[in-house]
Amino acid sequence: MIDDVARQRAERAARDAAKWTPNCSSCLHPMTAVELDCHPVWRCEGCGTEVDPGQRE
């Protein structure tokens, strides 16, 4: 069934996104990937915290 394949792929994509998107260590809000001075960082839309991807805890 094509629908099953599509759903499994969507579920896997959602799982990967959840795995690779860190939560803010302060407010646990899911962080958003943004570029700061041509440098990719994670930014919390909740409290504004910015985290270098190489400094994930």
Per rule CB under 5 A, is residue 41 in the interface with Zn ion?
Answer: no
- What is the Cα–Cα distance from 37 to 24, expressed in whole angstroms? 21
Per rule CB under 5 A, is residue 25 in the interface with Zn ion?
Answer: no
Of the candidate residues 12, 15, 29, 56, the single one contacting Zn ion (CB under 5 A): 29
Candidates 3-11, 14-22, 24-32, 33-41 — which segment interacts with Zn ion by CB under 5 A? 24-32
Of the candidate residues 6, 27, 33, 34, the single one contacting Zn ion (CB under 5 A): 27
Contacts for 39-43 with beta carbons within 8 Å, 24 or more apart?
A: none
Cβ(27)–Cβ(46) under 8 Å?
yes
